[in-house]
Structure 1
């Protein structure tokens, strides 16, 4: 039996078969969610305290920490990060050509 190696991209969502555009959107949202969750953990906030800080409901924080990416837009995550005292900036680069 031979082992076939498959070349992976730097975007797990692309590797899972999402379109280039959707995979970039998902990766951006995932990165923002991870950063926001880490901030809340570092501050040792309860979900209720985090909800108050971010001006959202506690169930919204639950969705965040559970990684429910489908429930968050980039815009909503940037707003919450701003309320947490984080300035978000993006680096724009030309897209890589995909075969």
Structure 2
């Protein structure tokens, strides 16, 4: 058995580096939104209303159902939650 080490779980489970990058972005956004919403100390229904989504959609977000959210949707929710999203693009080491 070949022991491989990965910098991130997404690098281990996704088929391509591009897919892993998208999942890293999605999971990072989801966690930031979850933490922000938790700080509001609102019910799911109240938080959903504040973000302009349904309560079941908020439940999916808070339960980490990442497969139900595109990167675009998470960007919109993050900005709606008052978060600023910045991207950094760098060349990978050769």
Q: By the TM > 0.5 criterion, same fold?
A: yes
Structure 1: which 5+ residue stretches go unaligned? none
Structure 2: which 5+ residue stretches go unaligned? none
Equivalent runs, 1:18-37 vs 2, <5 Å: 18-37=15-34
TM-score w.r.t. the length of structure 2 is 0.88
Larger Rg over CA atoms: 1
Does 53-62 or 6-15 show the bigger shift? Answer: 6-15
Paired residues in the alignment total 94
Q: CA distance change for structure 1 residues 26 and 17 in 2, over 3 Å: closer, same or farther?
A: closer
TM superposition outliers: structure 1 runs of 4+ over 6 Å: none
1:11–1:24 contact (8 Å) kept in structure 2: no
CA distance in 1, matches of 2:90, 2:69: 24
CA RMSD of aligned residues (A): 1.8
Q: Provide Cα deviations, 1:13-38, integer angstroms capped at 9, x if missing partner.
A: 11124311111111110010000000
CA distance in 1, matches of 2:38, 2:30: 12
